[in-house]
Amino acid sequence: MVDEALSAGAVARRLGVAVTTLRTWHQRYGLGPSEHIPGHHRRYTPADLARLEIMRRLTAEGVSPAEAARWARQAPDPTPNGSGTVGSARSHPTRRDGGGTIPVGRAGPAARGLARAAMRLDAAAISETIAHALAAGGVIATWEGLLRPVLAGIGERHAATAGLIEVEHLVSRSVSEALAAASRANVPTGPARILLSCADEEQHTLPLEALAAALAEAGVSYRMLGARVPVGALVEAVNRTGPAAVVLWSHTRATADPAQLSALLAAPRRPLLVLAAGPGWRADTLPAGVVRPVDLAEAVSLSAAVRDSLNQSRRD
Ligand code: B12
């Protein structure tokens, strides 16, 4: 085995990748050399090389590194004592995805990789892909470039086939977990001046969870009431906590009763800003004084601005 083992430089040349890329694949995805002779640098065995070949091929095809690494790690050992063939057609991702696809429009390779992982119900790859994107690009870019296209694609496919409910639930849960982890990683200090809530009977919480994580990333404290908040409970929360802004999410017409917004405007501790967010609201039915953000970035910047103006007025 020692004779067959290769140095990092030799492996890099064979694969046509940089040695720094090999190092990244080792550190981030655990695809490192397994041969270790005391007193020498670690060496890559034929099995290591075969895994790296899968990694190189899949990343070249546009699969995200996290997903490619997962396939590479799962590949059986090709050596005579191993159990199978690494890199054969059997280990290609598209063979295990149930045969369908989630349309992601013009979104990039990471979204296509996430869509494929979702079709395979591959929870680990889904989580890894989302966590990697959050770490690399932050919440807003991950929402717009990765999560939103895949969620919209799942909705489209569901509308066309009435299927994919299991995919929708697994992806929703993975997105929630990843966004919660991102929020926990950036807990802002200072009083929570932004109240986030879903409209009554509204169960679509993911966009609000994205907003929570983006606010945390921007250092803005918030309080999250989550799904299905009856209007009485919402007004009670406003009166008890006196937020500068309330973001009320409605995803469908069925939950977009403008009376909820009017109740906020009439609350004894009326917030400075009431945001009606989500595709459920109809612009022509919103009470005067309610603002409708166009996207996540605008919801973050409006919330941050109103928090700053309240803090400023309290200092003056
Ligand atoms: C995941 C999902 C679920 C999950 C939600 C899990 C969770 N924790 O959130 C579950 C399984 C619970 C669910 C339930 C239902 N769902 Co659903 N769901 C979805 C799905 C696939 C993604 C939702 C999402 O997060 N979208 C986020 C992005 C993709 O939405 P968007 O519209 O592009 O949003 C943009 C704008 O709102 C704008 N924006 C403007 N202001 C702001 C502010 C902020 C802060 C942000 C972030 C964005 C923003 O930017 C957004 C993009 O960033 C959608 C498909 C879709 N297209 O949304 C269906 C979808 C919304 N659901 C649908 C339906 C019908 C239902 C159910 C009624 C199904 C049922 N029969 O039980 C229930 C509703 C229950 C209820 N009363 O709420 C339909 C709604 C049809 C309609 N227009 O009325 C959709 C469109 C699917 C479909 N095509 O049929 N669902």
- Structure confidence at residue 217 (pLDDT): 95
- Structure confidence at residue 117 (pLDDT): 94
Q: Extract the tokens encoding 195.
A: 């109240």
Asked if pLDDT for residue 176 goes beyond 90, the answer is yes
Residue 152 in contact with ligand 1 by CB distance below 6 A: yes
Residue 59 CB neighbours (<10 A): 20
Q: Judge whether 69 and 55 are in contact, CB under 8 Å.
A: yes
Distance 197 CA to ligand 1 centre (A): 15
* Tokens 């869509």 -> residue: 115
Distance 265 CA to ligand 1 centre (A): 26
DSSP class per residue in 227-259: S---HHHHHHHHHHH--SEEEEE--SGGG--TH
Distance 204 CA to ligand 1 centre (A): 5
Nearby residues of 97 by Cβ (< 8 Å), 6 or more positions away? 116, 119, 120
Local confidence band at 292 (pLDDT 50, 70, 90 cut-offs)? very high
- Provide the mean pLDDT of the chain: 87
Residue closest by Cα to atom 73 of ligand 1: 203
Name the helix (H) or strand (E) containing 26.
helix 19-29
Threshold 0.85, pTM exceeds: no
- Structure confidence at residue 41 (pLDDT): 75
Kindly report which listed range (7-11, 98-102, 119-123, 281-285) carries the lowest average pLDDT score: 98-102
Local confidence band at 1 (pLDDT 50, 70, 90 cut-offs)? very low
Q: In angstroms, rounded to a whole number, what is the distance separating the alpha carbons of residues 54 and 77?
A: 12
Asked if pLDDT for residue 80 goes beyond 60, the answer is no
- Average confidence (pLDDT) over 140-148: 97
User: Nearest CA to 275 among 194, 180, 207?
Assistant: 194
Q: In angstroms, rounded to a whole number, what is the distance separating the alpha carbons of residues 8 and 154?
A: 41
- Average confidence (pLDDT) over 282-304: 95
Identify which has the larger pLDDT, 221 or 80. Answer: 221
Residue 155 in contact with ligand 1 by CB distance below 6 A: yes
**Collapsed DSSP state (helix, strand, coil) of residue 9:** helix
Helix, strand, coil shares, percent, the chain, to 5: 55, 10, 35
Q: Judge whether 22 and 63 are in contact, CB under 8 Å.
A: no
Asked if pLDDT for residue 127 goes beyond 60, the answer is yes
Candidates 251, 252, 294, 302: which one to mutate for ligand 1, based on the most atoms within 8 Å of Cβ? Answer: 251
Residue closest by Cα to atom 75 of ligand 1: 203
CB-neighbour burial class of residue 189 (10 A; exposed 0-12, middle 13-18, buried 19+): exposed
- Structure confidence at residue 76 (pLDDT): 65
Residue closest by Cα to atom 57 of ligand 1: 152
Local confidence band at 315 (pLDDT 50, 70, 90 cut-offs)? low
Kindly report which listed range (49-58, 250-259, 272-281) carries the lowest average pLDDT score: 49-58
Residue 172 in contact with ligand 1 by CB distance below 6 A: yes
- Average confidence (pLDDT) over 146-154: 97
Q: Which atom belonging to ligand 1 lies closest to the Cα atom of 148?
A: 29
